Chain A
């Protein structure tokens, strides 16, 4: 599948933003983090900017962005529509959390409820994002039960590393902020490696023979193409550049998305303020780079069954 940069930015930025807000809301809700206004202002600002920029960028690849509001109407059947509705609803508890934390400087009562609803709606939104891809049977590597949970786990992991960075900047990093980041990074790594194993060993869902129904004669090969220049289908679904380098890119993903952030976050707890903050910065930059590579690879590695009509043997 051709990776549209606006979609890669959208899914990674909104995942990170929702993860950051969710982790911060849990820390404030449980009282693990003092409801300090400055800290709250920074976290909510960064989280909301990331989420909103992501949602806006998802409209950049549309043919008609001015009609984007219509995408909120078909939630009964479409995961894309459900995601839009969930994203709009998620702003409600986030606004409540911001009001209590930043304006009142105290998260209690209704504002505490907002703090607990924030991670719930954040998770629902990111789950819907994952289901947009997982619901597409025509792309077997996406139509996989782990895909929506990967989106949730990676949103949480990147958000937790981001949260650890912000609290480290305020000198408030501790074993809890590091622990949440480490556990969520490990969980995401296990899911991602499990996902790669699963798609690498899965039997093909369809072949050139079943696509044409000509398998009775033997192997099916394209002879004359229907047109003299690549068409929309080949440009949109026939992307193959990354698949050639997939193994190398997977290793780079493991190092940047998981290994460096894990080491950086773990060491930062034991270091002093400056070194600790520097390590948290390195961990966050690495996780940012890693998630972009991971998402690019997620698109580029996916084989669409329509390519079976254009020379691919199995998908």
Chain B
């Protein structure tokens, strides 16, 4: 059914991505592809991987932007994946019922067996979260790793999305954003987490933590140590050697 579930869903599982700590290493994208090419949407296309024009489905892509100009400009690594919106337009446009948002935890999924591959959902998404699998003829997208987070064959510590598990900088956090006391909700409240492109009115579940303000003086070029120190042992040595060479 492509009508959206009653809001809010009891759980709102999603990601909180810290733009301040992301180092732009692409490990989350690589581990996502690695897990998901054997997961719910397996396999993911990987055409011409070592050639001139590699092409394939990725659920997670890491952009990098320069924001601002001059001394105040910032380089920001910017991972982007499905935001599992509350008001997901990709769900309501689907003519077949293949695209749906789960009432239990808010995860947006595609049921491949029902998908006719009309691509309308990818047109409806402002964030580019959906990518068409030209080989299977169906649309694919981030599943928030439903085959990890509910997987009782994994250790409990590993029951998080692949991108979160692998992030070496802990820039990605997973949890229930519907629970105001969860660690991710507190993180959003403390750091002022925000929505991407709020004017699209999709009410994304995933939040982004802003880049922190620069520490005063940080990044300013500090002078090298003085070559002609005044006083002290080094001053005495300097004076002595300088006098010798002058003589």
Contacts and interface: CB of A to CB of B under 8 A. Distances in A.
A251 interface: no
A46 to B, nearest CB: 28
Interface string B42-76: 00000000001111011001111111110011111
Given A211-B197, A237-B123, A63 B115 contact: yes
Nearest to A79: B93
Choose among A135, A137, A213 the residue with the greatest number of B CB atoms under 10 Å from its CB.
A213
B65 A229 contact: no
A74 interface: yes
Interface stretch (B5-13, B132-140, B219-227, B233-241): B132-140
Given A219-B67, A226-B63, A229-B53, A137 B123 contact: no
A70 B65 contact: no
Contacts of A78: 2, 92-95
Contacts, number: 200
A68 B117 CA distance: 9
Interface stretch (A117-125, A270-278, A288-296, A303-311): A303-311
Contacts of A226: 26, 29, 58, 61-63, 80
Contacts of A211: 196-197
A139 interface: yes
Which label, helix, strand, loop or mixed, suits the secondary structure of the B interface?
loop
B115 A64 contact: yes
Contacts of B96: 67, 70-71, 73-74, 81
B175 interface: no
A214 B211 contact: yes
B196 A213 contact: yes
Nearest to B210: A213
Nearest to A73: B97
A232 B133 CA distance: 9
Contacts of B208: 213
B200 A70 contact: no
A95 B32 CA distance: 53
Interface residues of A, number: 60
A227 B72 CA distance: 27
Contacts of A62: 116-118, 137
A79 B93 CA distance: 7
Contact of A232 (B57, B98, B196): B57
B126 interface: yes
Contacts of B89: 136-138
Contact of B116 (A68, A208, A304): A68
A242 to B, nearest CB: 17
Contact of B68 (A219, A223, A229): A219
B74 A138 contact: no
A309 B116 contact: no
B143 interface: no
Interface in A157-196: none
A132 interface: yes
A63 B54 contact: no
A145 interface: no
Interface of A: 1, 61-65, 67-68, 70-74, 76-81, 84, 132, 135-139, 205-206, 208, 210-233, 236-237, 304-306, 308-309
26 contacts: A62-B137, A63-B116, A63-B132, A65-B116, A71-B95, A76-B2, A132-B93, A135-B93, A137-B200, A138-B89, A212-B67, A213-B194, A213-B208, A214-B65, A217-B73, A217-B74, A222-B65, A223-B65, A223-B66, A226-B61, A229-B53, A231-B61, A233-B122, A237-B128, A306-B126, A308-B197
